[in-house]
Chain A
Amino acid sequence: MDIIFFAVFMAVFAAVFSFLGYLGYKKTKTAEDYYVAGRKMGPIVIAFSYGATFISAVALIGFSGIASIYGHSLLWLAFLNIFVGILIAFIFYGFRTRKMGLSLKAFTLPELLGNRFNSKRLQASSGLIIAIFMIFYTTAVFLAIASLFEVTFGIPYWLCVVIFTLVVGIYLIVGGLYAVMWTHAIQGVLMLVGMLILGIGIYAMLGGIGPAHEAAAALTPEQLTGMGWAAVPNGFTTLTSMPETLSPAFMLLLTLIFGVGIGVLAQPQLVVRYLSAKDEKSLRRAIPYGGIFILLMTFIAFSIGPLCNVLMINNGLTFPGTPDKVVPLIVNELFPQWFVILFLFAVLSAAMSTASALFHTAGASIGRDVCEKGLMKKCPEKKSVLITRTATLGIVIATLLLSLYPPDVVAVLTSFFFGLMACTFLAPYTLMLYWKNTSRAGAWAGMLGGFIFTMGWYILIYYKTAPQLIGSSITPNYLINMLDPLFIGLPLSFVLTFIFSKIKKQDKDQIKSMEIAFENI
């Protein structure tokens, strides 16, 4: 019966999204249409698309699972998601990015950098970095969905991945950013409804906000291990308190909160949403919708995570083995069947929306930034879209293959991506928007310095990756090896961009580009 439900819903999903893909195809006449939806998007579609791109299945399933272990302290990330991810992002980055993108005729973040600093090599290199690491991020999104399907329907992982990739791939490649953003609006509504019911349902089962939190606070480490936890994290206090300062649990939270919370500012797939806005008013109007959307996503996800432990103990359930499976288990065991299906498709929507945005951005990075601008001399507009469609198809296939052998931990991988993008692009991107003296040399230094430092940190020091890559971290001190590279890599990247911009100033061509970039600001 479950499989039939799944097949019917999936067919409806596929039909609706394919239709939107067809509409997007009909509307796509120029490269601008394909890359930035003709710069015609209104506030609601921008807000939902931004939110649905930002909030993936990883955030809903992976991070609520992490909250079930590390407690409500993760709410600091929900705060940063709104304060930094919406307010600062739109007000300090969105408006300027849109204006500069319009002046420089840029469709992607690498193109914005390339045109601002008059360097195709900078554009191509940025595009290459983005495309490679986006494939890993998309793989993390697939893993979260597979966890849910395993617990809920028992559908084989590989089958889910293949169906999912096919549906997303078709409407994305055919319909371009129009199709991506329209589908995001539908997916966003499903996510909102699913999370709202989930949040209300769990709090109602536990007697309201106060009693629910008090019940979580009262759980002892013995009760949690008795329910199936292998052990409480080192430094754990209670599910509604901060962990002991500078303990391993504290360091892990710090990594997640700042890696994702600050990293959001330089995400290439989110920058495209600013570039697609019809006008400044649309971006401004998107802020309230975006704030409410993120509140109903991450705030609910991180709030209910710890409460799932109370529900598991109250209902005689055992911990499902990994944090990723906690929320799916609760939904499956304690909610009516209709909601299980609704929730499944809400999370599927979250995964599809993020994956389609990532595929679109990665495809544009390879097609437009690397091939068209980096390798070719002249490229007619129609050929540009064809190259990017082909590149996107290649990215989709590569991700599919990688997803069939997925990495272990979902949320940490997402944190890597956000942190890496921030350390590589945030400094040149920010200074480019606000400091007229930023030079090409500064942008290169900041970008490469941040990237090399972050990669080096992950390979040699970071406690999750170094053991897998070189056997063990070069330092046993957890205060260092659990520290997110963002804490050092980001300031370093800013300093390098500034110093090299001072040492090697802009030449005449760069000054011309700078004047164009700032003409409407």
Chain B
Amino acid sequence: MSLILGMDPLVFTAWLLTILSAIFCVVYGLYYEYLKKPSKKTVPKEIKKPEEKEAE
């Protein structure tokens, strides 16, 4: 079986996917930081929790 960087194709795929996933994390962060237009800012409402009632 031919080896890629000393690894069999399936193991090499895992090796490559790991690096690509990390790169994707960085790209995702850069995209949201610099490229994506900010959406309308919504102010979360202050919500009151209802009375807890154990109905079990």
A residues neighboring B (CB under 8 Å): 71-73, 75-76, 78-79, 82-83, 86-87, 99, 102-105, 115, 118-121, 209-217, 237-238, 240-242, 284-285, 287-292, 294-295, 299, 303, 440, 507, 509, 512-513, 516, 519-520
Contacts and interface: CB of A to CB of B under 8 A. Distances in A.
B28 A212 contact: no
Contact of A120 (B7, B22, B32, B54): B54
A76 B33 contact: no
Given A78-B18, A287-B29, A87 B6 contact: no
Given A212-B6, A217-B6, A242-B11, A82 B18 contact: yes
Given A119-B56, A290-B25, A240 B6 contact: yes
A299 to B, nearest CB: 5
Nearest to B52: A118
Contact of A292 (B1, B17, B25, B30): B25
A291 B3 contact: no
A507 B55 CA distance: 9
Given A82-B22, A285-B33, A440-B56, A217 B3 contact: yes
Given A72-B15, A82-B18, A214-B6, A520 B49 contact: no
B14 interface: yes
A238 B6 CA distance: 11
A279 to B, nearest CB: 10
A82 B54 contact: no
Given A87-B25, A295-B22, A509-B55, A103 B47 contact: yes
Nearest to B50: A512
Given A75-B15, A119-B54, A240 B49 contact: no
A171 B12 CA distance: 43
Nearest to A299: B18
Given A73-B11, A118-B55, A119-B54, A105 B49 contact: yes
Given A79-B18, A214-B3, A295-B18, A519 B25 contact: no
Contact of A288 (B15, B30, B44, B56): B30
Given A121-B56, A217-B6, A242-B8, A76 B25 contact: no
B19 interface: yes
Contacts of A519: 45, 47
Nearest to A104: B49
Nearest to A216: B6
B35 interface: no
A83 B28 CA distance: 12
Interface residues on B, range: 20 to 34
A144 B30 CA distance: 37
B6 A241 contact: no
A370 to B, nearest CB: 15
B12 to A, nearest CB: 9
Contacts of A104: 49
A102 B42 CA distance: 14
A238 B1 CA distance: 12
A213 B18 contact: no
A292 B22 contact: yes
Given A75-B15, A240-B3, A299-B18, A82 B25 contact: yes
B5 to A, nearest CB: 5
Contact of A520 (B15, B19, B44, B54): B44
A213 B6 contact: yes
A137 B28 CA distance: 33
Contacts of B7: 72, 213, 217, 240-241
Contacts of B30: 288
A115 B49 contact: yes
Interface string B33-46: 10000000000110
Contacts of A216: 6
Nearest to A86: B25
A440 to B, nearest CB: 7
A519 B7 CA distance: 50
Contact of A75 (B14, B49, B54): B14
B11 A75 contact: yes
25 contacts: A71-B11, A78-B18, A79-B14, A79-B17, A104-B49, A115-B52, A118-B53, A119-B56, A213-B6, A214-B6, A240-B6, A240-B11, A241-B7, A241-B8, A284-B29, A285-B29, A287-B25, A288-B26, A291-B24, A291-B25, A292-B26, A299-B18, A299-B19, A507-B55, A520-B44
Contacts of B32: 284-285
A513 B18 contact: no
A520 B24 contact: no
Contacts of B54: 118-121
B14 A516 contact: no
A87 B29 contact: no
Nearest to B38: A281
Contacts of A509: 50, 53, 55
A291 B15 CA distance: 15
Central interface residue in A71, A82, A119, A509, by most chain B CB within 10 Å: A82
Contacts of B45: 519-520
Given A86-B25, A102-B44, A242 B10 contact: yes
